[in-house]
Amino acid sequence: MIGFGDIEQAIKDLCDQQKSSGKWSWLATVRSYGGEFDEDLLNIVKRTPAIWVTTTGDGAPKKLAHNKYQYFIKVAVMVGSSSKRNEEARRHGAGTDIGSYEMLTEVWKLFIGNTLSKADIQGLTPLVLGRTKTIFNALVRDQSLSVLAQEFTTSFIITASDRDRDEQDEEVGEIRKIYTDYYYQPSEKTPEDEADASDVIHLKE
């Protein structure tokens, strides 16, 4: 069964593959997002060009059967670049420095419609492009920092085991009789009181 961690790791693995193949030779850091943006921004600058990945649920699952659900996922791929030149350079790039806009374009090309099957993920619907958000446009000491977050949505099917359901059905068994107690003044009675009358209803097979 697919999990959040599997999807997140698969995206990081594909980014690493791009780096090791030389297609993304500019990439310095790939990691899961763990609150780095709450740290000193200078530490983020030192890791750029960088990609951070985080995964979360996206709305309520859709029930398909008694033990089957379609589970919706939102993935955020964040790209970060920095430059000592100026604000424009951190977004557009300059010289050998890649900008956050170009990084975002590379992420689009790699992940739009991707099922992550090349990272050994099976059963995931193709990634659908979502919103792009600006996380940072900041000046940190003598460097400009730009971080953009690109959202993707996808889903997979969760199928629960029928074992527990089958065991429960076996324990309940077939209902043949229904026992009923009657209280003539129920407002004055409690379940511990003796019933005023009782009956047994026999069900036909």
- Percent of the chain whose pLDDT exceeds 70: 70
- Predicted TM-score (pTM) of the model is 0.73
Q: What is the mean pLDDT of residues 78-100?
A: 67
The count of residues in the chain is 205
CA 16 to chain centre: 20
Whole-angstrom distance, CA of residue 8 vs CA of residue 13: 9
- Name the one residue in this structure whose structure tokens are 């991707």: 114
* Angle at the Cα of 122 from the Cα atoms of 103 and 13, rounded to 5 degrees: 35
Q: In the chain, where are the structural domains located?
A: 4-159
Rg (CA), the chain: 28
| Position with higher pLDDT, 60 vs 87 | 60
pLDDT of 41-63, one tens digit each? 788 888 899 999 999 998 899 99
The CATH fold assigned to 4-159 is STM4215-like (3.30.2000)
